[in-house]
Amino acid sequence: MMVEAIQIQVNGEQRSCQADATVGDLLRELAIKTERVAVEVNLEIMERKDFDHRSLKQGDRVEILSFIGGGAEELRH
């Protein structure tokens, strides 16, 4: 059986993925190591242990964040 594709948004960009994919699958596909990233799905912050259990749904807005250089310094959006 063919797996259906769904549209999601990742860090502001449209992207398609398989309908049964999890957050963990998405991270692996993007070659992002799970240590030291935070993932938010529809404004809800995920716990790392739930990455492989949370299935992505059509229209989900996913944000993947990590640490970058910064200090007493403001960085523009």
Partner 1 sequence: MVDDRLIIAGREFKSRLWVGTGKYKDFAETKKAIEASGADVVTVAVRRVNITDRSKENLLDYLDPKKYTILPNTAGCYNVEDAVRYARLARAAGVSDLIKLEVLGDERTLFPDTAGLIEAAKILIKEGFIVLPYTNDDPIVAQRLVDIGCPAVMPLAAPIGSGLGIRNPYNLKILMEMVKVPIIVDAGVGTASDAALAMELGADAVLMNTAIAGAQDPIAMAEAMKYAVYAGRLAYKAGRIPRKLYATASSPIEGML
User: Is 11 near partner 1 (CB under 8 A)?
Assistant: yes
Q: One symbol per residue from 16 to 55: x for binding partner 1 (CB under 8 A), - otherwise; what is it?
A: --------------xxx---xxxxx--x-xxxx-------
Q: Which of 5, 1, 6, 2 is nearest to 61 (CA)?
A: 6
User: Is 71 near partner 1 (CB under 8 A)?
Assistant: yes
**60 Cβ partners below 8 Å, 6+ apart?**
8, 9, 41, 42
CA dihedral 45, 48, 51, 52 (to 10 degrees): -160
Distance in Å, CB of 39 to partner 1, minimum: 8
Residues that bind partner 1 (CB under 8 A): 10-13, 30-32, 36-40, 43, 45-48, 63-77
